[in-house]
């Protein structure tokens, strides 16, 4: 919601009008909510533009860079990257991210997780290269610029930054053990990182729950990590056992590199006391990279038939999930566009108090709308939290569309997400649209979708 929030108590005053509003909103977020000011500033810029295509194109480019950086870190160099790295990265992220849609597709979620994750992977490049090649030293200009890369990494999000901090502690301890000299990029990068981390954690939101709650939080977080990432952890354990115990090979130092970040990010989650949803992103990314690093090392020492069989199993696990996920993503975009078309039609008639059908279907976690808060119904609800959601979210959306008020009308076919037997609500309008002879205007499709939204 592109709103300038004056008091941060849920009353959205107006849309962002200029750079001053963007800066003021960013400062308000830092004072009252969290210290992710760089993310918030970029978020407000995108919302100020009100151009979805600008974000979609930018986000696709960032995703491409993110995947490339994942592959680089696993392979160790650009020359060592192969198609299998790209395939495994994409499929494993799709299968194991708990909130793929919110992390990758939703504006605020993607900026907070995908974009900051890319900043972390970028920052770690020279550290990763020097880890395996003590003689490596980037050009002087890169070493100087790494101050700013460190700031971006440190001033990202809390668990990513703490995970990176854990890695830097381990990295410099290892350097001391090896008696290696410290180079310029390590000094500038670490200095920038610490500056960014200070800005991230200097917000006065009173988030720290106190030391007495930490032991209980620790137990909860560990239990949640095991329950939510059991398959991924099992893959890591099995491949590790095969490589080290049976093949008598050393664990790749890159796997330890990635695992330290994952464990550090888990430790950061002890403060809020939960490990769930989109906040698990950086942990799962580095666990996936750990698994990939061990597997690709193991693949050098085992029969290639087992490697091929592993790829086949991965593909067969991926395809059904991909079909369901893509259907849910498409459904969300289609129903969102249909409802926006209805709102624009009503607004064109001069109607500024509009009731719309809700919620938009999101039956799969790969949808950016999954788990989100849609237009609310019933402002007279006795549930205080529901009433708060009604006034804050509905008023924000009304402001966005230039309306006086926006109310939700609960559909009978969609309560917490579209029922699977109602999937024809997506495919039938498409058949209608492409079967139209006289007109192929996309507005025909949107009208049909909205009319059949029961």
CA 438 to chain CA mean position, Å: 42
CA 142 to chain CA mean position, Å: 28
Residue 53: count other Cβ atoms within 10 Å of its Cβ: 8
Q: Assess contact for 185 and 126: CB atoms under 8 A.
A: yes
CA distance 89 to 83: 10
Helix H, strand E, coil C: the string for the chain is CCEEECCCCCCEEEECCCHHHHHHHHHHHHHHCCCCHHHHHHHHHHHHHCCHHHHHHHHHHHHHHHHHHHHHHHHCCHHHCCHHHHHHHHHHHHHHCCCHHHHHCCHHHHHHHHHHHHHHHHHCHHHHHHHHCCCCCCCHHHHHHHHHHHHHHHCCCHHHHHHHHHHHHHHHHHHHHHCCCCCHHHHHHHHHHHHHHHHHHCCCCCCCCCHHHHHHHHHHHHHHHHHHCHHHHHHHHHHHHHHHHHCCCCCCHHHHHHHHHHHHHHHHCCCCCCCCHHHHHHHHHHHHHHHHHHHHHHCCCCCHHHHHHHHHHHHHHHHHHHHHHHHHHHHHHHHHHHHHHHHHHHHHCCCCEEEEEECCCCCCCCCCCCCCCCCCCCCCCCCHHHHHHHHHHHHHHHHHHCCCEEEEEECCCECCCECHHHCHHHHHHHHHHHHCCCCCCHHHHHHHHHHCCC
CA distance 397 to 392: 9
Per residue of the chain (454 residues), give pLDDT as tens. Answer: 444 444 434 444 567 778 888 888 888 888 888 889 999 999 999 989 888 899 999 999 999 999 999 999 999 999 999 999 999 999 999 999 999 999 999 999 999 999 999 999 999 999 999 998 989 999 999 999 999 999 999 999 999 999 999 999 999 999 999 999 999 999 999 999 999 999 998 876 656 666 778 888 899 999 999 999 999 999 999 999 999 999 999 999 999 999 999 999 999 999 888 888 899 999 999 999 999 999 999 999 999 999 999 999 999 999 999 988 888 888 888 888 889 999 999 999 999 999 999 888 787 889 888 888 888 887 666 667 767 777 778 888 888 888 888 888 888 544 334 444 445 555 555 565 565 434 557 777 788 778 877 7
Query: What are the pLDDT digits (tens) for 53-68?
Result: 999 999 999 999 999 9
Torsion of CA 368, 370, 376, 380, to 10 degrees: -150
- Closest to 118 (Cα-Cα) out of 285, 234, 301, 355: 285
For the chain, the structural domain boundaries read 34-302, 334-451
The first and second tokens of residue 422, run together, are 């109602």
CA distance to 32, 146, 375, per residue, from 192 (Å): 24, 8, 41
Residues whose CB falls within 8 Å of the CB of residue 67, separated by 6 or more in sequence, listed in order: 86, 89, 90
Q: Assess contact for 270 and 108: CB atoms under 8 A.
A: no
């Amino acid at each position: 919601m592109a709103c300038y929030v004056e008091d941060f108590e849920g009353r959205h005053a107006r849309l962002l009008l200029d750079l001053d509003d963007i800066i003021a909103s960013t400062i308000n977020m830092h004072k009252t909510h969290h210290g992710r000011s760089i993310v918030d500033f970029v978020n407000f810029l995108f919302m100020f533009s009100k151009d979805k295509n600008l974000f979609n194109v930018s986000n696709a480019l960032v995703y491409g860079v993110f995947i490339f950086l994942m592959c680089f870190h696993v392979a160790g160099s650009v020359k060592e990257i192969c198609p299998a790295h790209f395939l495994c990265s994409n499929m494993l992220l799709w299968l194991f991210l708990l909130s793929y849609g919110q992390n990758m597709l939703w504006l605020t979620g993607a900026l907070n997780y995908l974009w900051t994750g890319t900043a972390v992977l970028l920052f770690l490049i020279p550290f990763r290269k020097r880890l395996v090649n003590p003689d490596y030293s980037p050009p002087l200009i890169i070493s100087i610029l790494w101050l700013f890369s460190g700031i971006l990494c440190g001033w990202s999000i809390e668990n990513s930054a703490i995970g990176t901090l854990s890695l830097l502690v381990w990295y410099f301890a290892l350097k001391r053990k090896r008696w290696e000299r410290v180079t310029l990029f390590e000094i500038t990068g670490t200095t920038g990182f610490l500056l960014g981390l200070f800005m991230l954690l200097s917000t006065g939101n009173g988030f720290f729950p106190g030391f007495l709650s930490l032991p209980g939080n620790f137990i909860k977080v560990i239990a949640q990590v095991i329950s939510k990432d059991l398959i991924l952890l099992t893959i890591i354990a099995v491949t590790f056992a095969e490589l080290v115990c049976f093949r008598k090979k050393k664990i790749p130092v890159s796997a330890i590199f990635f695992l330290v970040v994952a464990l550090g990010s888990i430790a950061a989650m002890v403060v809020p006391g939960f490990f769930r949803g989109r906040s698990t992103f950086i942990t799962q990314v580095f666990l996936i990279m750990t698994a990939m690093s061990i597997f690709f090392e193991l693949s050098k020492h085992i029969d290639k038939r087992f490697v091929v069989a592993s790829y086949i199993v991965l593909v067969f696990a991926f395809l059904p999930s991909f079909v369901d996920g893509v259907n849910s993503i498409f459904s969300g975009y289609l129903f969102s566009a249909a409802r926006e078309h209805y709102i624009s039609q009503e607004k064109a008639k001069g109607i500024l108090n509009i009731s719309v059908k809700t919620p938009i279907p999101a039956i799969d976690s790969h949808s950016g709308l999954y788990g989100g808060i849609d237009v609310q119904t019933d402002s007279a609800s006795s549930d205080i939290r529901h009433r708060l959601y009604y006034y804050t979210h509905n008023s924000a959306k009304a402001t966005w569309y230039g309306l006086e008020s926006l109310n939700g009308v609960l559909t009978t076919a969609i309560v917490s997400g579209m029922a699977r037997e109602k999937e024809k609500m997506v495919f039938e309008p498409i058949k209608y649209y492409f079967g139209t002879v006289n007109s192929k205007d996309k507005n025909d499709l949107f009208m049909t979708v909205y009319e059949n939204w029961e």
